């Protein structure tokens, strides 16, 4: 088994090794921080030129996941585009891929801090989503319960294991890793995340397989 199944707020969930969260009973797939169009945004603002292939790679990986799970609902948990300009600058291939992925599914764009405005790319655009006991939003809130969020791009390293994107999970919240190809990350033991997560939290490292470990076992880097 390459993924990690766990129970959260009496709900059976699977942290997939590909950085997505799968809720089998609801047939709901959740993905966070795609940051589509990041290379275009950086070039537009005069930054370092990056190969403009991250959107294709990100959507190709997402399409693989969709084919593997066949979800009825897809929740994109904010920062799906690197900014509004990137959302408006999508090319025909990107638009066609998104239309194909949305076909026959309930596609929900959650607002992020990078993409706060409406986007004309199909689906439903919400500030947050309540589905059963779970609340889906981009940035976690204090004293949350049953919360699924993103934003921080957590990564974790262990002795002998290089840093990987990871989920962070405790009894009250789940923070998803970033899915986008050009996204960076924040160390899981960074002070910002340690303050948010309970001492009993686990990190679920992604990669070839999902590896759950105590958050306290992760390196501080």
Specify the pLDDT at position 96: 87
- Residue 65 makes CB contacts below 8 A (sequence gap 6+) with 16, 18, 20, 29, 31
- pLDDT tens-digit series, residues 41-99: 444 444 454 445 577 788 889 999 999 999 999 999 988 885 555 555 577 788 888 89
Average pLDDT over residues 25-46: 73
What token pair was written down for 17?
């090794």
Domain limits for position 89: 4-132+144-217
Structural domain count, the chain: 1
Q: What is residue 92's predicted lDDT score, i.e. its pLDDT?
A: 74
Q: Is 36 inside any structural domain?
A: yes
- For 60, residues 6+ apart whose C-beta sits below 8 A from its C-beta are none
Residue 137: inside a domain, yes or no? Answer: no
Between 35 and 125, the higher pLDDT residue = 125
Residue 216, SS3 per DSSP: helix
Q: Where are the beta strands (DSSP E) in 19-178?
A: 21-23, 28-31, 73-76, 106-110, 124-126, 129-131, 134-136, 147-149, 154-158, 161-169, 173-175
Asked whether residue 138 is assigned to any structural domain, the reply reads no
Are the beta carbons of 26 and 131 closer than 8 angstroms? yes
Q: Which two tokens stand for residue 88?
A: 């408006």
Measured distance CA(181)–CA(191) in Å, rounded: 25
Residue 77 domain flag: yes
Segment 38-42 shows an average pLDDT of: 47
What's residue 53's pLDDT? 55
Q: What is the pLDDT of residues 188-207, one digit of tens each?
A: 999 999 999 999 999 999 99
Per-residue pLDDT, 88? 59
pLDDT at 46: 46
Measure the CA angle with vertex 207, ends 215 and 32; round to 5°: 75
CATH, residue 114: 3.60.21
- Look at residue 139 and tell me if it is in a domain: no
Domain membership flag for residue 52: yes
Neighbours of 191 (CB within 10 A): 9
User: How far is CA 196 from each of CA 28, 68, 167, 221, rounded to the nearest angstrom?
Assistant: 25, 32, 13, 17
Q: How does pLDDT run across 137-186, given as a tens digit for each residue?
A: 999 999 899 999 999 999 999 998 889 999 999 999 999 999 986 667 89
Partnered with residue 8 across adjacent β-strands are 11
Does residue 37 belong to any structural domain of this protein? yes
3-state secondary structure of 73: strand
pLDDT, tens digit, 9 for 90 and up, residues 101-144: 999 999 999 998 867 655 678 899 999 999 999 999 999 999 89
User: How much is the pLDDT for 8?
Assistant: 98
Residue 180 placed within a domain: yes
């Amino acid at each position: 088994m390459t993924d990690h199944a766990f129970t959260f707020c009496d709900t059976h969930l699977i942290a997939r090794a590909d950085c997505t969260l799968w809720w089998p009973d609801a047939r709901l797939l959740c993905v966070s921080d795609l940051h589509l169009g990041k290379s275009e945004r950086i070039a537009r603002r005069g930054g370092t030129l990056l190969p403009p292939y991250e959107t294709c790679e990100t959507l190709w990986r997402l399409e693989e996941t969709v084919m593997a799970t066949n979800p009825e609902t897809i929740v994109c948990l904010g920062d799906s585009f690197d900014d509004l300009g990137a959302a408006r600058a999508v090319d025909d291939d990107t638009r066609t891929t998104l239309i194909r992925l949305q076909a026959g599914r309930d596609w929900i764009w959650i607002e992020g801090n990078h993409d706060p405005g409406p986007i004309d790319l199909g689906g439903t655009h919400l500030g947050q989503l309540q589905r059963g006991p779970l609340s889906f939003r981009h940035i976690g809130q204090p004293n949350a319960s049953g919360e699924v969020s993103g934003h921080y791009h957590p990564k974790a390293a262990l002795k002998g294991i290089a840093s990987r994107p990871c989920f962070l999970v405790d009894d009250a919240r789940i923070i998803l890793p970033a899915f986008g190809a050009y996204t960076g990350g924040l160390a899981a033991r960074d002070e910002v995340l340690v303050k948010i997560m309970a001492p009993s939290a686990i990190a679920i490292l992604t990669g070839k397989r999902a590896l759950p470990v105590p958050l306290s076992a992760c390196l501080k880097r």
